[in-house]
Amino acid sequence: MPKMTNAFREAVALAATSQGTWISLHTSDPGTTGDGEVTGGSPAYARKQTTWTGGASDGTVVGTEVEFDVPAGTFTHISCWTAATGGTFQWSQSINGITFPGQGKLRITPMFSVPQGS
The C-alpha torsion from 48 through 53 and 58 to 60, rounded to 10°, is 0
Can you give the residue ranges of every domain in the chain? Answer: 6-113
The three-state DSSP-derived secondary structure of 43-112 is CCCCCEECCEEECCCCCEEEECCEEEEECCEEEEEEEEECCCCCCCEEEEEEEEEEEECCCEEEEECCEE
Strand partners, 70: 104
| Mean pLDDT of successive 10-residue stretches along the chain, which has 118 residues | 86 94 98 96 97 89 97 97 97 94 96 83
pTM: 0.92
